[in-house]
Amino acid sequence: MKKLEELTRPNIWALKPYSSARDEYSGKEASVFLDANENPYNAPNNRYPDPLQWELKRKIAPVKHVLPEQIFLGNGSDEAIDLMYRAFCRPGRDNVVAIEPTYGMYKVCADVNDVEYRNVRLDANFQFKADGMLAAADGNTKLMFLCSPNNPTGNNLDRKEILSLLERFEGLVIVDEAYSDFSDEPSFLTELERHPNLVVLQTFSKAWGCAAIRLGMAFASPDLIGILNKIKYPYNINRLTQQEAIRMTEQHYQVKQWVRSLLEERARLMKEFGKLDCCRHVYPTDANFFLAEVDDAKKIYDYLVDRGIIVRNRTNVTLCHNCLRVTVGTRPENDALLEALEKYPS
């Protein structure tokens, strides 16, 4: 890996970050706070939250087997994706390489930040090769985006190829594990010590059932996390979100239970979906959704919308012609989908 200083935008490396009142004083003993121009009434929402969310990070760390200093928390993992561009990619000069198809925000953030986005098409099994990614890179490639399990295809990417990329690429490799709680494969968090160029993204939005509180996690070396902390908005995670996430970490057995029942439902739903007349193929998945090729994705999508059932039409996505992406819901929700499609006049 290149030195972090070489990968970081020079203005960011040199940046002296904003120092908030809560950064300058963070001791516990004081009881009179006249430093942050807050209103003394309406506790507890009158006070700014901890800018670095230490209490929450100390709860997440043992669940994920990392140090609190290896965790960045963002307003969804989308914030971490955007900050990776802002920290490492010089607008108009640097580029990133990503698999295609994949999660759309990698490209949107590239466009917002005026960074060239190079994509490398997956093969017919929705797999990638490290060689292909490296062939698309040059001396200005700062980041590579991988998503495993991938969205919208649902499958895990080949672990050996990810490890090969981590060994051979001199920039940063981002492995987005938004859906990894639904997969049997171990997380790449266990590779953080061996690979200082690895950034793992996870989120509270999927298995943790907390999409509304907007909390995403990036895991990496403490030095790299320090760069993201330096450029984030001072109070990017509000107090209500921090409190709710702390509550969730104290009942992560509940998350395990949700995952177990969603995996059972996934197996049942995929089996039944495969029997439908309109279904041509159900792709294997490691996530809480699956991709299915149908005879006419647009028509079926519209038919379902008319019945108040919304799936995602992915027909315009590379390699996904006539594909619908179906999220696994509760048993009654899945039954509603199946019943509607059994009545679909194909």
Shortest CB 324 distance to ligand PMP, Å: 16
Residue 291 and residue 323 in contact, taking contact as beta carbons nearer than 8 Å: yes
Question: By rule CB under 6 A, what string of x and - marks binding of each residue 3-42 to ligand PMP?
Answer: ----------------------------------------
Cα–Cα distance list, 169 to 119, 136, 139 (Å): 16, 11, 11
Stretch that binds ligand PMP, among 36-44, 49-57, 203-211, 295-303 (CB under 6 A): 203-211
Query: Which of 30, 36, 112, 211 is in the footprint of ligand PMP by CB under 6 A?
Result: 211
Structure tokens at 265: 């439902």
Structure tokens at 191: 């590779």
For ligand PMP, how many residues bind (rule: CB under 6 A)?
12
Is 147 a binder of ligand PMP (CB under 6 A)?
A: yes
Query: Which of 203, 322, 327, 334 is in the footprint of ligand PMP by CB under 6 A?
Result: 203
Stretch that binds ligand PMP, among 39-47, 72-80, 157-165, 320-328 (CB under 6 A): 72-80
Residue 80 and residue 218 in contact, taking contact as beta carbons nearer than 8 Å: yes
The span from the CA of 275 to the CA of 34, in Å, is 67
Is 154 a binder of ligand PMP (CB under 6 A)?
A: no
Structure tokens at 98: 């990503």
Shortest CB 161 distance to ligand PMP, Å: 18
Tell me which residues in 220-259 interact with ligand PMP (CB under 6 A).
none
If residue 264 lies in a helix (H) or strand (E), which one and from where to where?
Answer: helix 252-275
What is the sign, positive or negative, of the torsion defined by CA atoms of 187, 189, 190, 191? Answer: positive
Q: Where are the beta strands (DSSP E) in the chain?
A: 71-74, 95-100, 116-121, 141-147, 172-176, 198-203, 216-219, 279-282, 289-294, 312-313, 323-327
If residue 299 lies in a helix (H) or strand (E), which one and from where to where?
Answer: helix 297-306
Burial tier of 293 (Cβ tally within 10 Å: 0-12, 13-18, 19+): middle
Query: Which of 8, 53, 70, 77 is in the footprint of ligand PMP by CB under 6 A?
Result: 77
Q: Is the backbone of residue 182 left (phi > 0), alpha (psi -120 to 50) or beta?
A: alpha
Residue with Cβ nearer ligand PMP (94 or 176)? 176
**Residue 254 carries which DSSP code?**
H
Query: Which of 59, 130, 144, 176 is in the footprint of ligand PMP by CB under 6 A?
Result: 176
Structure tokens at 279: 């279904």
Shortest CB 328 distance to ligand PMP, Å: 14
Tell me which residues in 183-202 interact with ligand PMP (CB under 6 A).
none
Shortest CB 207 distance to ligand PMP, Å: 12
Is 151 a binder of ligand PMP (CB under 6 A)?
A: yes
The span from the CA of 95 to the CA of 116, in Å, is 5
Query: Which of 205, 249, 327, 334 is in the footprint of ligand PMP by CB under 6 A?
Result: 205
Residue with Cβ nearer ligand PMP (147 or 304)? 147
Residues within the interface to ligand PMP (CB under 6 A):
76-78, 103, 147, 151, 176, 178, 203, 205, 211, 216
